[in-house]
Amino acid sequence: MEYTRLGTSGLKVSRLTLGCMSFGTPNDFQPWALDDDAAAPFFKQAVELGITTWDTANVYGGGTSEEIVGRAIREYASREQIVLATKIYWPMSQNAGGGGLSRKAILEQVDGSLTRLGTDYVDLMQIHRYDPDVPVEETMEALHDVIKAGKVRYIGASSMWAWQFAKMQTTAELHGWTKFVSMQDQYNLLQREEEREMQGLLADQGVGNLIWSPLNGGTVARPWGDTSSSRAASTPATDQFGRPLFQNSDKAIIDAVERIAADHGISMATVGLAWALKNPVVDSPIVGATKERHLTDAVAALDLALSDDEIAALEAPYTPREPTFF
């Protein structure tokens, strides 16, 4: 495993992050989620492979993902060994502090995450989205306060317009509050809109980049039209985690991934992740795992150097689409 600093911060992360949205109590929204016993092999495999950055969120599994992650850290690693990241914003209840980024919500939801995770602190607390209903001054001061209280080591943001992120960073800087060290946004061969503004902003400001859905929910890892996985076969109501509306160009991209994978004798997932990892802005793609090969294929991407011709074949068919902020 390789390790890198998250942007220009001092926080070192593994070049691959274990995504924990797949772990939790199965429900109508995530029928494919894995409970403790089913998730255990992937936590153990991640530790063995050196994937020591783990990312979850309070809303995953209605809080059960954080509980499972917390138990896994105590069972298979040590708290100091894991760079633990979680997220707050989406509603956990209908109470006044149940969701959003008000001061009340941030203080309550940070404490809730710590309780479920069974830890005194989180290494990276991320806001899951921008909250247009709360003044950014209120949000940034509250995040600064949980840092000063020792409950959070670093803060990050996720999926928003570049101007919104810049506004929040500038507000923190003007008041002497803690700034975000990272952005977690969607980036893959079928969703490259972050190249237009956000990635330039991150590079200029030295902000780290954790990318979610680097294989577009597995679409990049399967031949075009293949719905053999449980998530791919799910109804749209239960599996629309950030997938862009498909364009006519997407088949050509997936066909290129399949062709390059065959040429190298490797998986399509390895090709898709190698393409994302070549981007100097990307620090650590977040990889979900429900099969043993998911993590081994991801690690193999660290050693794959795509040729200029291969990169051109992967990128040329792309057509613009709406960013995914849902």
Residues 6+ apart with CB under 8 A from 69: 20, 23, 54, 56, 84, 117
- Percent of the chain residues past pLDDT 70, beyond the cut: 94
Q: Which two tokens stand for residue 76?
A: 């298979």
Residue 85: phi and psi, rounded to 5, are: -120, 140
In a domain, 284, yes or no: yes
- Among all chains, which residue has been given the structure tokens 């274990």? 18
Helix 64-76 vs helix 36-49: angle between axes, to the nearest 10 degrees? 50
Average pLDDT on 115-123 reads: 98
Is 8 domain-assigned? yes
pLDDT per residue as tens digits for the range 151-203: 999 999 999 999 999 999 999 999 999 999 999 999 999 999 999 999 999 99
CA–centroid distance for 266 within its chain:
24
Could you read off the pLDDT of 251-269 as tens digits, one per residue?
999 999 999 999 999 999 9
Decide if 123 is inside a domain: yes
Domain that holds residue 166: 3-315
Indicate which CATH number applies to the domain containing 243.
Answer: 3.20.20.100
Q: Is residue 320 part of a domain?
A: no
Q: What's the number of domains the chain is made of?
A: 1
Rounded to 10°, the helix 36-49/292-300 angle is 20
Q: Is residue 189 assigned to a domain?
A: yes
- C-alpha 223: how far from chain center: 24
For residue 325, is it within any domain?
Answer: no
Residue 120 domain-assigned (yes or no): yes
Quote the pTM value.
0.94
Q: Please give the structure tokens belonging to residue 11.
A: 């926080």
Report how far apart, in Å, the C-alpha atoms of 252 and of each of 224, 257, 314 are: 9, 9, 8
Would you name the residues annotated as active-site residues? 60
